[in-house]
Structure 1
Amino acid sequence: MQDTARLVLSLLDLTSLDDTDTDEDIQRLCRRANTKGGHPAAVCVLTHLVAQARTALANLDLQDTVRVATVVNFPEGDQSADEVVDQIRAALTSGADEIDLVFPYRALMSGDERLGYHLVSRCRQASSGHVLKVILETGELKSSELIRTAAEIALAAGADFLKTSTGKVAVNATPEAAAVMMETIRDSGRPVGFKAAGGIRTTEQAAVYLDLGREILGEQWLRPERFRFGASGLLDDLLQRLGSGVRPVDLRSRY
């Protein structure tokens, strides 16, 4: 299980998306990314805290190792395209590397397929040169048919990753939804990534998604450029499996 934990750690987007997050919380999150067992792929924070995350990682000498991701149209997925594009531009100006965009899933549930395509296309243009992950909110879509439709729309509009969930609804990542998303990626013939997010707290739970990835997409997908986990509590379990902890770096003099 140590090998699995080490792999999952390298695929992790270490996440904190609470409305109450402060600068100190983000500094703490970034310090958690500085582990003896390796580093996560990214930290994921709210848009107005991107600059703080970028500074904290630089002070840890992790600015070239750990990416900064943020969320837009979050968490409801119901903002206008102009509003979301403005959020993306602000995030990129602050130093974001990756954008996690909530798909307008309620519009799709009401029968509107055009809105999702329009929004993802606009956001693809606004985030050109940066990774765009599209959050389908599969626990709300529920049916395999709607999940597949949302995935196909996001792929057609230029998504780099398909992501399961915001982590803010009753049902988040499930293996069943993940399988539908991975099959849609496979059938597209494009090198699009997959991200499982919400409710994944143990190495064993993460391993279920790795096994699905191997079966549906292939071993070559299990790298940060193609496969991610979005979680916060998962890190503690990974480090316990690895017998590691956070590096004891005293940063008080740097802030």
Structure 2
Amino acid sequence: MTDSTRLPPAAGPSPDDDAAVAARALPLLDLTSLNDGDDADTVVRLCDRAQSAAGPVAAVCIWPLWVAIAKSNLRGTGIRVATVVNFPGGSFPRERVLYEIGEALADGADEIDVVMNYADVINGSGARAAADLAACREACGDATMKVILETGSLAKPVLIAKAAGIAVEAGADFLKTSTGKVPVGATPGAARILLEACRDAGRPVGFKASGGVRDIAGAREYLALADAICGPDWAGPATFRFGASGLLDALLATLGKGPAGPRSGSGY
């Protein structure tokens, strides 16, 4: 994990204070748009939203094609640019994935969200998934590597734990629940397993909840899990993220900085 990700932890709010939860969650947000119809204008608007009236989010997460545009629009804001590779199925040849990483980094990506070959975890030994991720780790260099496990497809706790172990061993900086492209996204049960893997990793490993976190109640639940498992001072931008689109509007509405209710997004 690069030095620029080592930010101070957010202070823990009262679990009953919606405004405090919103204020805590907003700087942990990876504001995401991964729709098939996204274009340059979509990305510019997303970058504008990322610089919200209540403060900046942690990062924007977009298709690799638009990394350079996002980087240009966010220069000087401190907001990081994340992109996805091997997305969404986790089954592209290793050479293609490494090429995607190289191109994204050349365009200025700060963070790479890579989908692990979760089918190999389900149907095989996980050895191919492990080798692919180790190669991705080397290709990422100092960039933050978030590994998307697709916990909704893994489904069984034993498989989620197995995938988490493979990702940690391969050098993941974050364990991320979901692509947002399958029916089941983040769940508290899966989050607990991933957070326990982060806690027990023996080095800094963060957690990202993505897929279906859209309101204050969801944000509160995942932050409370992180506090209980990893400690009340653990969850900050360097260790905890929400991958979401509509969540930002719910946070801003709670803080009195925007209209009530979330927008529709890209499964996030």
TM-score calculated relative to the size of structure 2: 0.88
Aligned-partner residue type, residue 113 of structure 1: G
Matched, 1:151 2:168: no
Match of 1:135 in 2: 148
Aligned counterpart for 2:215 among listed residues 202, 209, 215: 202
Structure-2 separation of matches of 1:153 and 1:123: 13
2:87 paired residue among 71, 74, 79: 74
SS in 2 for 1:168: coil
Could you report, residue by residue, the CA deviation over 1:27-71 in whole angstroms, capped at 9, with x for unpaired residues?
Answer: 00011011121110000000011011111213xx42xx1000000
Q: Distance in 2 between matches of 1:245 and 1:44?
A: 22
User: Contact 1:167 / 1:198 at 8 angstroms: preserved in 2?
Assistant: yes
C-alpha distance in 2, partners of 1:111/1:143? Answer: 15
1:27 aligns with 2:31: no
How far apart are 1:190 and its partner, in Å? 2.1
Equivalent residue number for residue 110 of structure 2: 97
1:191 Cα deviation from its structure 2 partner: 1.3
Structure 1 position 245, deviation (Å) = 4.1
User: Hey, what does 1:40 align to over in structure 2?
Assistant: 57
Whole-angstrom distance in 2 between the partners of 1:232 and 1:167: 11
- Where 1:220 maps in the other structure, the secondary structure is coil
SS in 1 for 2:164: helix
Structure 2 portions without partners, runs of 5+: 1-17, 260-268
- Report deviation, 1:111: 1.8
* Mapping 1:50-61, distance limit 5 Å: 50-58=67-75, 61=76
**Counterpart of 2:263?**
none
Q: How many residues align?
A: 242
Query: Which amino acid in structure 1 is aligned with residue 28 of structure 2?
Result: L
Match of 1:8 in 2: 25
> Aligned AA for 1:97?
D
Contact 1:193/1:221 (8 A) holds in 2: no
How large is the Cα RMSD of the aligned pairs?
Answer: 1.1
User: TM-score, normalising length from structure 1?
Assistant: 0.93
Partner of 1:178 in structure 2? 191
AA of the residue aligned to 1:192: V
Whether 2:231 is the aligned partner of 1:218: answer yes
Match of 1:231 among 241, 244, 247: 244
Distance 2:142 2:101 in 1: 12
Shift of residue 140 of structure 1?
0.2
Alignment correspondent of 1:250: none
Q: In 1, Cα distance between the equivalents of 2:193 and 2:161?
A: 6
Distance (Å, rounded) in 1 between the aligned partners of 2:258 and 2:111: 26
Check the 8 A contact 1:27/1:53 in 2, yes or no: yes
